[in-house]
Amino acid sequence: MTLDKTFDPAAIEAKWYQHWESTGAFRPERPDAVPFTIVNPPPNVTGSLHIGHALDNTLQDIVIRYERLRGKDALWVVGTDHAGIATQMVVERQMAERQQKRTDFTRDDFVAKVWEWKEESGGTITGQLRRLGCSMDWSREQFTMDPHFSKAVIKVFVDLYNEGLIYRDKRLVNWDPGLKTAISDLEVETREINGKFWHFRYPLEDGSGYISVATTRPETMLADMAVAVNPADERYAHLVGKNVRLPITGRLIPIVTDEHADPELGSGAVKITPGHDFNDFEVGKRAGFKPADMLNMLDAEARVVQTADGLIPQDYIGIDRFDARKRVVEAIDAAGLLEKVEDRVIQTPFGDRSAQIIEPWLTDQWYVDAKTLAQPAIEAVRSGAIEVVPKSWEKTYFNWMENIQPWCVSRQLWWGHRIPAWYGPSIENPEEIIVFVAEREDEAVSNAVSYYHASWQEGDAMSFSIYQSEAEYRTDSAKDHGPSNEEFEAETGLTIPDDAQVHLQPDSTKIWGIWRDPDVLDTWFSSALWPFATLGWPLDNPPPSGEGDHLKDGGGARAASAQPGDVSLKPTVPLHHASHGPPPRSGEDLLTRHYPNDLLISGFDILFFWDARMAMQGLHFMKDVPWRRLYLHGLVRAADGSKMSKSKGNTVDPLGLIDQYGADALRFFMAAMESQGRDIKMDESRVAGYRNFATKLWNAARFCEFNGIGASGSVAAPTAELAVNRWIIGEVVETLAALDKAMADLRFDAAANIVYHFVWDRFCDWYLELVKPTLSSITIAPLTIFINPVSDERRTEVLESVEHQTEKAVAHENARAEIRLVAGWVFDQILLMLHPFMPFITEELWHATGTRANDLILAQWPEPGVEVDEVAADEIGYAINVIDLVRSTRTEAGIPPSAKIELQISGNEELLVAAMQVLQAHST
């Protein structure tokens, strides 16, 4: 096989990727090897590869390929995330283009449409990861809404609930009026906007004057419930306990004391709106208001609604919050109560997805007791059970973990894991709601039936139904009968427990029923389980077992996922009945072998979102850390240092870079630029530089090919006599050691540069140049034939000459043979060292040079088995110095390169001859 004159990355990339995947190269069978595990941060299923993915995945692939080459059982778990809000937004946007909206559909129909979109676009990013050369275990590709994964999510919710670590609470949440859902603290971005600071005068009830309050959100005064002053503020001491008559609503509210009021700020008195401000909520509670009694004046879309006391004037009802703001200010002004208006920069909360201003809103939501779960996660880092790289992130981690707030996990969406909670009316007071949390609907029904049965008395008639919503239950009347026991069981596939002895009769007088919580869980609640739920947790619940499958059809066992019906109400069917054939690795083995994962690589931007939550959930459910090391990398920024964003239009498409320079070049760029903890500024010329590096390697391979240099055939270093060979072998040994050190420290830049400079500077520029004359000069053959020797003396002379020439020729041939052997071995080592960084070209060259070809990825990291030859290193170092000196002297002296130079040099003759030949090769 002859290498093409020019290196064309595109020609080899697709070919080799397909080959790897179809031969199972990414997961060779190594049952006895040391396991090594990385889970890939699951990208959004409908997303596409951006430059940050390229960085993140390149780093992971380098590590996983490196460990695989070293003989480990390297598993790289891959899959995608359902990305609740993001995906639902995409689908809703598509609907909007067709003048449709989510509520035009039933929930099931809408969710089915999202599944359709997932099926349609879900392969985009996985295809792009393949183009990057990522060697994930595709045969086990997973999705966060696969049945087995969903089951794990639900189990975690139920277990945490039963342990009291998940609870339902009525408090202020960050409400996104654009998406109409609650979001967590982390999903809120604070931005500065130019606003105003309005100073209002609130008239005292007794007509004795006013008290001034200042606000940046005047509209909330419609739901004010108090005015607070600092207890130490003597200016207002005489007013405490008096009432204020609110303008517009006429509501009578008290003046209270609270530390929250800052005497330095504004007038020192502050209006309190407990239902619409986080601070005021706390003040309100201290002032004795119960959350349930706090006034709410906004609906889900942040339009004004009537408060419970009915005091908001009718013409405010239904208008937008910003219109309400204008109208309130106008009204206050018209009443002569507007003291002054100041311009002010306001820290304003925005939804990170919707870019809408977040509204604190009083609702019932599910919360995770993050504070409790955080403790072991803090301890794990403190004790070193988790090593954070770079270490400087530890402080940030501790800071956040130690001040962690309850985590709101319920989302008012349709796409996601529906919360496994069912509600029903309390027996004592049907207006109150009680909760049944269960992994499956039949369990919830069973529990509910038992509960309601407790109120059943001999002779009672009672009906029990499953409703779609609370509203449906409330509007059910006694005349609207529940089903009979038999109908109920037939309809739901559930069994009413015998001991419940529920009588379901058409003429029931007591109507009971339950309905499921309509909300879904925060996406990060589920992805937090990624390190163990992908490995078969809980154990009766195996993930896709790709073992062997990919050898047959190349597709793996992913068909089990993605059934639209799996998402909602139907109980999940355990999969273990479905799997058949010999299970080479049981779920238990997988989980035991690969948990804890060895390493997690993620961007620091998801340290709180994902990494911290994995640590919490992993420690809680697995009683062990999710990973032993956590490597955090920075962001890839635009060339000018700004953050890349679609809206700015300054994004760089990694696929475009791959098209232009090849995947290997892009990967090498990412590695070479990744210095711990620092952002990477995009520098395309550098990508081009690494494309050139690949070309250089390609041409070196061609040189080897032309000169009969092929595979070494051995992993061990060949024995060598020539100094130049002993030297380069020593250089390989040192390079390998340096590379191992860099990889152990996760210094990707150092690792890449070590290999780069060995290949280019040492191997190409010196070694190949030094051996070139020996390889290319024509052997002086002892074939001179003397026809008429004039004398015996002359005859002897000739014979001796022939003998001498023969010896020289033999020596020369031996030298060439040794060079071929050593050069072939060195080149093999180069391909090995480079393979994690540049998998495509190394695979191609390995194959093309006829060496171990397909065994590449099965090869074990070589042990050179030799010491560095210091003598040879000194000799070659001397020769290199001499050549350098001569070259620079020649340039300085203005001697043209064409002039021959005679050198008087003492030292190793063989070397100096080689050195002179190199000089001459460049001189004539």
> Could you say whether residue 279 binds RNA (CB under 7 A)?
yes
> Could you say whether residue 48 binds RNA (CB under 7 A)?
no
> Could you say whether residue 328 binds RNA (CB under 7 A)?
no
647-676 residues near RNA, rule: CB under 7 A: 673, 675
> Could you say whether residue 691 binds RNA (CB under 7 A)?
yes
> Could you say whether residue 891 binds RNA (CB under 7 A)?
yes
> Could you say whether residue 278 binds RNA (CB under 7 A)?
yes
Using CA atoms, how far apart are residues 529 and 417, in angstroms rounded to an integer? 13
DSSP structural state of residue 504: B
Among 299, 624, 749, 910, binds RNA (CB under 7 A): 749
> Could you say whether residue 144 binds RNA (CB under 7 A)?
no
> Could you say whether residue 247 binds RNA (CB under 7 A)?
no
> Could you say whether residue 347 binds RNA (CB under 7 A)?
yes
Burial class (CB in 10 A: 0-12, 13-18, 19+), 176: buried
Using CA atoms, how far apart are residues 274 and 220, in angstroms rounded to an integer? 10
Among 15, 168, 772, 812, binds RNA (CB under 7 A): 772
Among 132, 256, 270, 729, binds RNA (CB under 7 A): 270
> Could you say whether residue 332 binds RNA (CB under 7 A)?
no
Among 37, 87, 215, 561, binds RNA (CB under 7 A): 215
- Residues 6 or more apart in contact with residue 552 via CB below 8 angstroms: none
Among 337, 434, 652, 764, binds RNA (CB under 7 A): 764
Q: How far is the CB of 836 from RNA (least distance, A)?
A: 19
Radius of gyration of the chain (CA): 37
Using CA atoms, how far apart are residues 525 and 527, in angstroms rounded to an integer? 6
Which listed range, 560-568, 611-619, 765-773, 822-830, lies at the site for RNA (CB under 7 A)? 765-773
> Could you say whether residue 579 binds RNA (CB under 7 A)?
no
Using CA atoms, how far apart are residues 756 and 901, in angstroms rounded to an integer? 33
Which listed range, 285-293, 478-486, 624-632, 635-643, lies at the site for RNA (CB under 7 A)? 635-643
Q: How far is the CB of 773 from RNA (least distance, A)?
A: 10
Which listed range, 81-89, 158-166, 543-551, 745-753, lies at the site for RNA (CB under 7 A)? 745-753
Q: How far is the CB of 520 from RNA (least distance, A)?
A: 23
Instruction: Determine contact, residues 150/567, Cβ cutoff 8 Å.
Output: yes
Q: Please, which residues bridge with residue 227 across strands?
A: 255, 271
Q: How far is the CB of 609 from RNA (least distance, A)?
A: 9
Among 505, 572, 650, 692, binds RNA (CB under 7 A): 692
Using CA atoms, how far apart are residues 188 and 302, in angstroms rounded to an integer? 17
- Residues 6 or more apart in contact with residue 678 via CB below 8 angstroms: 634
Q: To which residue do tokens 């001034």 refer?
A: 212
Using CA atoms, how far apart are residues 116 and 108, in angstroms rounded to an integer? 12
Which listed range, 574-582, 677-685, 718-726, 855-863, lies at the site for RNA (CB under 7 A)? 677-685
Using CA atoms, how far apart are residues 712 and 270, in angstroms rounded to an integer? 82
- Minimum CB distance to RNA smaller for 107 or for 171: 171
376-415 residues near RNA, rule: CB under 7 A: 392, 395-396, 399-400, 403, 405
Q: How many alpha carbons fall within 13 Å on the CB side of residue 523?
A: 24
- Minimum CB distance to RNA smaller for 348 or for 484: 348
3-state helix, strand, coil in the chain (%, to 5): 45, 15, 35
Using CA atoms, how far apart are residues 883 and 916, in angstroms rounded to an integer? 8
Which listed range, 122-130, 256-264, 485-493, 514-522, lies at the site for RNA (CB under 7 A)? 256-264
Phi-psi region of 26 (alpha: psi -120 to 50; beta: other; left: phi over 0): alpha
Using CA atoms, how far apart are residues 3 and 703, in angstroms rounded to an integer? 10
- Residues 6 or more apart in contact with residue 11 via CB below 8 angstroms: none
Among 290, 340, 382, 643, binds RNA (CB under 7 A): 643
- Minimum CB distance to RNA smaller for 233 or for 517: 233
Structure tokens at 357: 């201003």
Q: How far is the CB of 326 from RNA (least distance, A)?
A: 18
Provide the terminal-to-terminal Cα distance of the chain, rounded to the nearest Å: 33
Q: Is 513 helix (H, G, I), strand (E, B) or coil?
A: strand
- Minimum CB distance to RNA smaller for 291 or for 538: 291
Using CA atoms, how far apart are residues 860 and 65, in angstroms rounded to an integer? 11
DSSP structural state of residue 760: I
Which listed range, 107-115, 155-163, 593-601, 694-702, lies at the site for RNA (CB under 7 A)? 694-702
Among 23, 375, 753, 917, binds RNA (CB under 7 A): 753
- Given the DSSP bridges, would you call strands 597-603 and 627-633 parallel, antiparallel or unpaired? parallel
Q: How many alpha carbons fall within 13 Å on the CB side of residue 887?
A: 14
- Minimum CB distance to RNA smaller for 118 or for 691: 691
> Could you say whether residue 271 binds RNA (CB under 7 A)?
yes
Among 111, 373, 750, 754, binds RNA (CB under 7 A): 750
- Residues 6 or more apart in contact with residue 64 via CB below 8 angstroms: 36, 38, 74, 76, 135
Structure tokens at 684: 């395309």
> Could you say whether residue 680 binds RNA (CB under 7 A)?
yes
Among 865, 897, 899, 913, binds RNA (CB under 7 A): 897
Planar angle of CA 921, 922, 924, nearest 5 degrees: 75
Q: How far is the CB of 251 from RNA (least distance, A)?
A: 17
- Minimum CB distance to RNA smaller for 398 or for 451: 398
- Minimum CB distance to RNA smaller for 162 or for 347: 347
What ranges make up the beta strands (E) of 26-127?
35-39, 73-77, 79-80
Structure tokens at 479: 């005349």
State how far Cα 68 lies from the chain centre: 22
Among 470, 476, 566, 679, binds RNA (CB under 7 A): 679
Among 120, 487, 863, 884, binds RNA (CB under 7 A): 884
Output the furthest CA–CA distance in the chain (Å, rounded).
Answer: 146
> Could you say whether residue 90 binds RNA (CB under 7 A)?
no
Instruction: Determine contact, residues 566/150, Cβ cutoff 8 Å.
Output: yes
Among 7, 115, 464, 668, binds RNA (CB under 7 A): 7
Among 190, 806, 854, 881, binds RNA (CB under 7 A): 190
- Minimum CB distance to RNA smaller for 505 or for 660: 660
Among 2, 6, 383, 904, binds RNA (CB under 7 A): 6
Phi-psi region of 241 (alpha: psi -120 to 50; beta: other; left: phi over 0): left
Q: How far is the CB of 71 from RNA (least distance, A)?
A: 29
Q: How far is the CB of 738 from RNA (least distance, A)?
A: 12
Q: How far is the CB of 371 from RNA (least distance, A)?
A: 14
> Could you say whether residue 296 binds RNA (CB under 7 A)?
no
State how far Cα 628 lies from the chain centre: 17
Torsion angle of the four alpha carbons 698, 700, 702, 705, in this order, in degrees rounded to the nearest 10: -130
> Cα separations (Å) of 281 from 199, 223, 290?
21, 12, 10
- Minimum CB distance to RNA smaller for 778 or for 785: 778
Among 126, 128, 135, 267, binds RNA (CB under 7 A): 267
> Could you say whether residue 106 binds RNA (CB under 7 A)?
no
- Minimum CB distance to RNA smaller for 269 or for 822: 269
Shortest CA distance to 769 belongs to which of 884, 636, 667, 676? 884
- Minimum CB distance to RNA smaller for 342 or for 491: 342
Q: How many residues can be counted in the chain? A: 924
- Minimum CB distance to RNA smaller for 678 or for 794: 678
Among 260, 303, 371, 812, binds RNA (CB under 7 A): 260
Q: How far is the CB of 217 from RNA (least distance, A)?
A: 6
Among 234, 262, 402, 460, binds RNA (CB under 7 A): 262
